[in-house]
Amino acid sequence: MEKNFNGIEPFEKKIWLSSPTMHGEELDYIKEAFDTNWLSTVGKNINECERMVAEYVGCKYAVALSAGTAALHLCVKLAGEKIYGMAKPNEGTLRGHKVFCSDMTFDATVNPVAYEDGEAVFIDTERDTWNMDPVALEKAFEIYPEVKLVVIAHLYGTPGKIDEIRAICDKHGALIIEDAAESLGATYKGVQTGNFGNYNAISFNGNKIITGSSGGMFLTDSREDCDKARKWSTQSREDAPWYQHEEVGYNYRMSNIIAGIVRGQMLHLDEHIAQKKAIYERYKEGLKGLPVTMNPYDEEKSEPNFWLSCMLIDKDAMCRQVRGERDVLYISEEGKSCPTEILEAISKFNAEGRPIWKPMHMQPIYRNSPFVTAKGNGRAVTNAYIDEGEALDVGMDIFERGLCLPSDNKMTPDQQDVIIEIIRRCFDK
């Protein structure tokens, strides 16, 4: 059936999912880099950027890098050396070893494990925060007791169940890599994310809570790890009068220009978080009465940065929807909707939403990788998928029924009200 959107006009200017919000100080610091002719990978902006982030997060050291993925790669490389020792020539530090990884995340969380020749084992998602399920993690250690490294991500800026995960890792002698790319400014028990892993990474990609247009950062309390990460990020140049190289390095250092943007953005991080939270709360209030819920978080233990506001449709309110690898079909029904219908509807009115991250175990590139749910071997239970009305594969269920809503902090309340009205009409009878 065709849903009725009469009386709603398309936005003249596109409402983005989450676009950069610039303020002016960024240009001042970029100009400073130009005026002093420090344009490459050294300069005051880099030094100040590292200082400001470390001070804000509450860690001792920060290394400014070209991307959050670069930071994650150095985390993985450092962890591999710590656990397994130096790699042989032309081999990664994780060759022949499995690593437990968050399943519902962007593939940048996981790809660095492959860079270092490791094998990802994906851990299913829990419903309370949409992050790694501690029950599934414990089950994974029962199946693979030899694993010594766990990579966790905080989805959409919401901290996961850190206490439980850390207790399990400590019990099994495993190190933690914390992918806080999406959660800069979020806290767990009053402590900033980016402090909970043995190795930690954040991102300044163009759509993040603050941005450098690109860039990322490695965070640590270890001076030794800081020095190693900084050396590796500058092609592993040795302290010699000439270019001396004794191990493989990478061109991962942040430029002084990008650092100038981040330096200006840091002044507005708390402001951006407040704006994102207001968007989340307006959606939560405006969607009341519909068969939907917002992306959840533990209100007693954590305060997200509310980077993206997301929505989950009740099972009995889902119209029929079938997704292939690249295409999707759905049948519109009275009183029901689905992520595809809602995303198509808001797109017609010039607003951008996105599907939830497709779980890694469902991705063609990782389809043969092990996957563990709270019930055990996920590859086995996924074939059943539903057990007495409950999804056995939680990540796949959230992917099927969830979507990311327009969350740009330049969106006005009136514009958000229009988006809410479009969503409500998708469920009209």
Angle at 68 between CA 340 and CA 187, to 5 degrees: 80
Whole-angstrom distance, CA of residue 167 vs CA of residue 87 = 29
Q: Give the up-direction half-sphere exposure of residue 376: CA atoms within 13 A in the CB hemisphere.
A: 6
Whole-angstrom distance, CA of residue 397 vs CA of residue 165 = 22
Q: Which candidate in 98, 139, 208, 336 is catalytic?
A: 208
- The question of whether 208 is a catalytic residue gets the answer yes
Facing residues of 217 across strands? Answer: 64, 202
Identify the three-state secondary structure at position 100.
strand
Residue of 46, 35, 34, 33 lying closest to 234 (CA atoms): 46
Q: Please state, in angstroms and as integers, the Cα–Cα distance from residue 298 to each residue in 127, 161, 357, 363, following that order.
A: 11, 9, 21, 29
Residue of 349, 345, 416, 423 lying closest to 12 (CA atoms): 349
Whole-angstrom distance, CA of residue 13 vs CA of residue 87 = 52
Residue of 366, 400, 361, 365 lying closest to 381 (CA atoms): 361
- CA torsion sign for 379, 380, 384, 389 is negative
3-state secondary structure 191-252: EECCCCCCEEEEECECCCCCCCECEEEEEECCHHHHHHHHHHHECCECCCCCCCECCCCCEC
Residue of 131, 414, 77 lying closest to 250 (CA atoms): 77
What are the residues whose beta carbons fall under 8 Å from the beta carbon of 307, sequence distance 6 or more?
18, 156, 157, 182, 183, 208, 209, 276, 407
Would you please indicate which residues are annotated as catalytic (active-site) residues?
208
